[in-house]
Amino acid sequence: MRAVLHYLIIVPLAYLIALMPFFVLRGLAYVMYFFLYKIAGYRVKIVRENLKNAFPEKNQNELKRIEKVFYLHLTDIMLETLKMLTMSLKDAKKHMHIPEESVEVIEQLNEKGISTIVALGHYGCWEWGNFGYHARFDTELRGIYHPLSDSYFEKLMYHMRTRFGSVPVKMKDTLKYMLKNNDKVSNIAFIADQAPSPNGAHWTMFLNQETPFFSGMEKIARKLNMPIVFLSIDKIKRNVYVMNFELLVETPRSTVQGEITESYVRRLEKRIQEQPEYWLWSHRRWKHKRPENEQLYQMTVNN
């Protein structure tokens, strides 16, 4: 009952916010920034620790600047996500630009009847990638996701993500779904920088720290020989982004184990290092330590 009441209160509020023009949302974001960052100190300890470990070469002033810009960006993307409830494809074209050379990366593969895996991270406004895609491409987009624990808000997010035809696929069902529907040309989006279980993950150095990554994207790519396209959603100014697609791996079956994941990690890391303020630093990304058996395995491989 409590969850239902929260839903009945929050959903109308979400739609009210979504109906606001962008100049009002930018002002509201400043208010949220003040309370979230200055008053509540939302996950400030986690953000500071993550930034300090990721950029040991930066001084306190540099880290503080990144931290401040990150929190304003965080409030922007919170409101931008709600705006998905009312945005049109016309709005998406105004706020999500795709250079022609990036369009060609996707279209040249799809025109040959080749489906692709689009790998991105929690960078820029990743949720808007859905709308930006549908504003420019006709090929079906499938998005891999983890269902939310709250069923009511899960329905709300599902509605946002499917408004223009995207097909959400639960992560645990991904391979089964792809094998069953592999006869249709489509592009499948993986937000591949989430924190997996440490056991069975691909471990690598990422932003100066040992970090586990899901190996599922690589397994699917190699099994189905689906090219990997890296997507960076870069912030141009507040509420305006550019989607840059680049071919990362053309023939996955010709790669060795771990090569695809490493290619993705290195490309994402490079983008974060270029403009670190737009990655999700409030995430507990380094909560896991490499299991001892994984360390022994890696030592054996290296020797």
- pLDDT one-digit tens code per residue, 113-154: 999 999 999 999 999 999 999 999 999 999 998 887 777 778
User: How far does the chain reach from its first CA to its final CA, in angstroms?
Assistant: 58
Task: Name residue 196's amino acid.
Answer: P
The predicted structure's pLDDT at residue 271: 98
> What is the per-residue pLDDT across 26-81, written as a single tens digit (0 to 9) for each?
999 999 999 999 999 999 999 999 999 999 999 999 999 999 999 999 999 999 99
Mean pLDDT of 216-245: 96
- Assigned domain for 136 exists: yes
> Looking at the predicted structure, is the pLDDT value of residue 292 above 80?
no
Q: Which residues have a Cβ under 8 Å from the Cβ of 162 and sit 6 or more positions away?
A: 168
- How many domains are contained in the chain? 1
- Assigned domain for 289 exists: yes
Mean pLDDT of 246-254: 97
Give the residue from 228, 267, 270, 223 showing the smallest Cα distance to 249: 228
Q: How confident is the model at residue 198 (pLDDT cuts 50, 70, 90)?
A: confident
Give Dmax (Cα) for the chain.
60
> What is the per-residue pLDDT across 77-101, written as a single tens digit (0 to 9) for each?
999 999 999 999 999 999 999 999 9
Instruction: Identify the burial level of 293 via C-beta atoms within 10 angstroms of its C-beta, where 0-12 means exposed, 13-18 middle and 19 or more buried.
Output: exposed
- Assigned domain for 234 exists: yes
- Assigned domain for 148 exists: yes
228-237 and 240-249 as β-strands: parallel, antiparallel, unpaired?
Answer: antiparallel
Cα 285 from chain centroid (whole Å): 13
- Assigned domain for 129 exists: yes
Task: Name residue 106's amino acid.
Answer: I
The predicted structure's pLDDT at residue 300: 41
Q: Which domain holds residue 237?
A: 91-302
Question: How high is the mean pLDDT of the chain?
Answer: 91
- Assigned domain for 274 exists: yes
Task: Name residue 258's amino acid.
Answer: G
> Looking at the predicted structure, is the pLDDT value of residue 297 above 60?
no
Are residues 121 and 268 in contact, defined by beta-carbon separation less than 8 angstroms? yes
- Assigned domain for 126 exists: yes
Mean pLDDT of 205-209: 97
- Assigned domain for 209 exists: yes
Q: How confident is the model at residue 6 (pLDDT cuts 50, 70, 90)?
A: low
